[in-house]
Amino acid sequence: MTMTAAAAPSATKTEHVDVLIVGAGVSGIGAAYHLKDQTPGTSFLVVDALDNFGGTWWTHKYPGIRSDSDLYTFGYRFKPWLGDPIATADKILAYMGEVIEENDLGRHIRYRHKITDASWDSATSLWNVEGVRTDTNEPVRFTTNFLWMCQGYYKHDQGYTPEWPGMADFKGEIVHPQTWPQDIELKGKKVVVIGSGATAATLVPSIANEVAHVTMLQRSPTYFTPGRNADELADTLRALKIDPTWIHEIVRRQRLHMGNLFTKRAFSEPEAVKKELLGMVKASLPEGYDVEKHFTPKYLPWRQRIAFVPDGDLFKGIREGKASVVTDEIERFVEGGLLLKSGETLEADIIVTATGFNMCVLGDIAFVVDGQRVDFAKTVTWRGMMFTGVPNLVWVFGYFRASWTLRADLLGDFVCRLLKHMKAKGVTKVTTELRPEEKDMELLPWMDPDNFNPSYLMRALHLMPKRGASPEWQHTQDYMREAEELPAVDLDDSVFHYGKAEAPARAREPTPA
């Protein structure tokens, strides 16, 4: 589905909007909705380098691509979800398309606009934003009072594939799920999927009936939880003809409540939770299957995201002999497949590297503030969304353990409240800064590895902003806490530094709404 976007004006023209939203994925479309709903009269545009909305759900084309969060919480709070809890990409795109259509957001979206540079000028209290049209290579330019960064946290155009010895010797095809070729021939092929995360667990069962055999090769196991792709409460309420808006809210609250209880138990009773998770896996596999070797992770349940397996499809493929799991390490690629460190050789016609992605910090855009290049690794994050020394900018970075959109909605409320507060104060600039008594606060990596430590985050931790020792200067993973704290934030607290343009604003031609 492709929505009609705003017609792009001449590339030589500099357009001005009150708010520029970077990214037309789940976060960006949500931001556009909140701006229109909560701050009527605010001019805004959404820009995206892709040729359609959806972000991940548009770029990822591998077989079976689906959500690993339920759509009652991954969906927006303002738009009821009517389908199964776990949804495929096409259904998520259709849902987002309805949001755009129902709220007349299409005319605010510019596709094929890649932002490369953003420079803040305190004299005018403006961001000067530059980029390029990806279809014509023409330059694009904007000025904006506020940047709302919704571009996600990884590179869409390249996945992460480690360099293994002998890769050039392999005579078959090596594919990363993030750049899945649409003309690939799977029928009758021996396929090895390297990886053990949600992508591998989605791919393996989706191709198991088509290929000769598919093997999931993992260095170490991941926690999985199988279950029906249905919600009994939602189904009951639908049968009672309850309003879909009510159903969405009730089921959303129930799932948030249960998720919160589970997370607390994972911290307080990790061994008990681990036993329960492994018990569900064991019950889904043939008797005598080596669950200890292939499905028992080395880490505790709360240190990485737990992947849900809808209707146990991964385990069904194993039971039926169409899929298998090998836990080993790669010694090298060989002509016919993979030589493992155990000495075993895995034959393969196609090797899929479901080995993760490369993170980026705020879209890898070159940011400058008053002539000084911004190194975000030297900034300190305020609540995982604003950064010391960087004015009028919020980055939407969701939750790791819960649905991303939960935080996108919360930040939507916060940004709109902040914009209205600035307007009421008659100011044009806001930054968050450490208070005098916090100047010597210990600064730590963005995320505590003992709290959450997936490989993609550990590889990029040195690029990320710092966190402080106090909760206010950290990106919490606790939705329930933030849902209470963010609406109560005192916007006149001394952490916020407000100001006005240092020089009269030059005449600017606003972008038509």
Domains of the chain: 14-156+358-499 (3.50.50.60), 161-355 (3.50.50.60)
DSSP states along 419-484:
HHHHHHHT--EEEE---GGGTT--EE-SS-TTT---HHHHHHGGGSPBEESSGGGS----HHHHHH
User: What is the SS3 string spanning 255-318?
Assistant: HHHHHHHHHHHHHHCHHHHHHHHHHHHHHHCCCCCCHHHHCCCCCCHHHCCCEEEECCHHHHHH
The answer to whether residues 386 and 229 touch, using CB atoms and an 8 Å cutoff, is no
| pLDDT by residue, tens only, the chain of 513 residues | 555 555 444 446 999 999 999 999 999 999 999 999 999 999 999 999 999 999 999 999 999 999 988 999 999 999 999 999 999 999 999 999 999 999 999 999 999 999 999 999 999 999 999 999 999 999 999 999 999 999 988 888 888 899 999 999 999 999 999 999 999 999 999 999 999 988 999 999 999 999 999 999 999 999 999 999 999 999 999 999 999 999 999 999 999 999 889 989 998 999 999 999 999 999 999 999 999 999 999 888 877 788 889 999 999 999 999 999 999 999 999 999 999 999 999 999 999 999 988 888 999 999 999 999 999 999 999 999 999 999 999 999 998 888 999 999 999 999 999 999 999 999 999 999 999 999 999 999 988 887 777 788 888 888 999 999 999 999 988 899 999 999 999 999 999 999 999 865 554 555 544
Q: What share of the chain is helix, strand, coil (3-state, %, to 5)?
A: 35, 25, 45
Place of tokens 């899945």: 180
User: What is the SS3 string spanning 197-264?
Assistant: CHHHHHHHHHHCCCCCEEEEEECCCCCEEEECCCCHHHHHHHHCCCCHHHHHHHHHHHHHHHHHHHHH
Q: pTM for the complete prediction?
A: 0.92
Residue 42 structure tokens:
């605010």
Angle at 465 between CA 472 and CA 411, to 5 degrees: 55
Listed in sequence order, the residues at least 6 apart from 469 whose beta carbon sits closer than 8 Å to its beta carbon are 441, 442, 443, 444
Q: Is 378 helix (H, G, I), strand (E, B) or coil?
A: helix
